Amino acid sequence: MIHSLFIGNLPFAFKEEDLKNLFRSFGEISETKIIYDRNTQRSRGFGFIAFTREADASRAISEMNKKTILGRMIDVHYSNKNKTSPMMRDLSGDTARKNAPLSIG
């Protein structure tokens, strides 16, 4: 099972590799995702990170929640204990764009 964490209030310059590097000391990471604005392609200041072990995710929460990173106090908590990898991809807006109603006129 994937143990997905929501990471909020990230520095806007953060990339997925930065997020992974910030959390890699807690254990095996299966996926990282920074959420970008569809129109501007700029970071929305939050993302997700998925650990393969619940103990690693729990330790990451307890040690990283409310920690200041590049002047921003980040929020770290479970996004949904049963979240799966494809669901993380859906949050990026790709599915929303594909399934959005088409308006003609």
The pTM is what? 0.75
Question: How far is the C-alpha of 41 from the C-alpha of 86, rounded, in Å?
Answer: 21
Q: Could you read off the pLDDT tens digit of each residue along the chain, which spans 105 residues?
A: 889 999 999 999 999 999 999 999 999 999 999 999 999 999 999 999 999 999 999 999 999 999 999 999 999 999 975 444 444 445 545 444 445 555 555
Check if the beta carbon of residue 9 is closer than 8 Å to that of residue 61. no
Check if the beta carbon of residue 4 is closer than 8 Å to that of residue 46. no
Q: Is 5 helix (H, G, I), strand (E, B) or coil?
A: strand
Q: Does domain 4-38+47-77 have CATH number 3.40.50.1360?
A: no
Domain boundaries, the chain: 4-38+47-77
